[in-house]
């Protein structure tokens, strides 16, 4: 299989191969390693579109140094419940913030070159447009159309939501750590 074994993106690259695993860099799923036995398993029993979306999103959110997607954690990811549309709006808002920071700008321009990365949040273009609409209606984002594409900027209410999400993450990372032994 060429491309990403999870989301089937043709734009994914197999960066390196070891005896038992592959290092994948995918615009949807992110940068991760996967065992070759799991790649074979997925080729023999492909995922449904919604499962691909859930697994892709969980990989992007949960990869860390040394993370390897294998049969054990894959089954946990594959059987995970789908996140709500409101949770996806939060992910979208965090994505726009990340893109703003990496581009050193206050505006995020939605264009075809960055569309594929948004598909890690949801699987269809229709749902992406619904999430953007929900974020605008919640007054997290402002939107304007320009010749270069649709421009989204984070509002004061959006920045407040991002700050609240950061507090939640800090709380859980501080008080809900797994025991060391």
Q: Which CATH number fits the domain that encloses residue 128? A: 1.10.10.10
Same domain, 54 and 93: no
The last residue of one of the domains, among 39, 57, 78, is 78
Helix/strand/coil for 20: coil
Same domain, 91 and 108: yes
Residue 104: give the domain boundaries: 85-173
Supply the pLDDT for residue 40: 92
Q: Across residues 128-142, what is the average pLDDT? A: 88
Same domain, 62 and 111: no
60-88 residue pLDDT tens = 777 677 778 888 888 888 877 777 778 88
Identity of the highest mean pLDDT range in 21-25, 106-110, 173-177: 21-25
Same domain, 63 and 140: no
- The contacts of residue 150 (CB under 8 Å, 6+ apart) are 109, 110, 143, 144
User: Does 1 map to a domain?
Assistant: no
Supply the pLDDT for residue 114: 62
Q: Across residues 21-35, what is the average pLDDT? A: 88
Same domain, 94 and 154: yes
Per-residue confidence band for 167, with pLDDT thresholds at 50, 70 and 90: confident
Supply the pLDDT for residue 181: 39
Q: What is the count of structural domains for the chain?
A: 2
Same domain, 92 and 168: yes
Same domain, 95 and 159: yes
Picking from 44, 76, 37, 40, the residue whose alpha carbon sits closest to that of residue 59 is: 76
User: Does 7 map to a domain?
Assistant: no
What pTM was estimated for this model as a whole?
Answer: 0.56
35-53 residue pLDDT tens = 999 999 999 998 888 788 8
% of the chain residues with pLDDT over 90: 18
User: Does 6 map to a domain?
Assistant: no
């Amino acid at each position: 299989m060429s491309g990403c074994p999870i989301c089937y993106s043709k734009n994914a690259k197999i960066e390196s191969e070891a005896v038992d695993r592959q290092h994948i860099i995918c615009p949807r799923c992110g940068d991760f390693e996967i065992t070759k036995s799991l790649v074979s398993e997925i080729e023999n029993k492909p995922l449904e579109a919604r499962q691909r979306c859930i697994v892709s999103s969980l990989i992007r959110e949960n990869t860390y140094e040394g993370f390897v997607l294998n049969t054990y954690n894959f089954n946990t990811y594959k059987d995970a419940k789908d996140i709500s549309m409101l949770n996806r709006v939060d992910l979208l808002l965090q994505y726009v913030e990340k893109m703003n920071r990496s581009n050193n700008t206050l505006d995020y321009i939605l264009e075809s070159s960055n569309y594929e990365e948004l598909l890690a949040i949801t699987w269809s273009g229709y749902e992406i447009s619904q999430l953007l609409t929900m974020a605008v209606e919640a007054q997290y984002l402002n939107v304007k159309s320009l010749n270069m594409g649709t421009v989204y900027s984070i509002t004061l209410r959006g920045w407040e939501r991002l700050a609240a999400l950061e507090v939640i993450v800090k709380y859980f990372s501080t008080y809900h750590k797994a025991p060391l032994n």
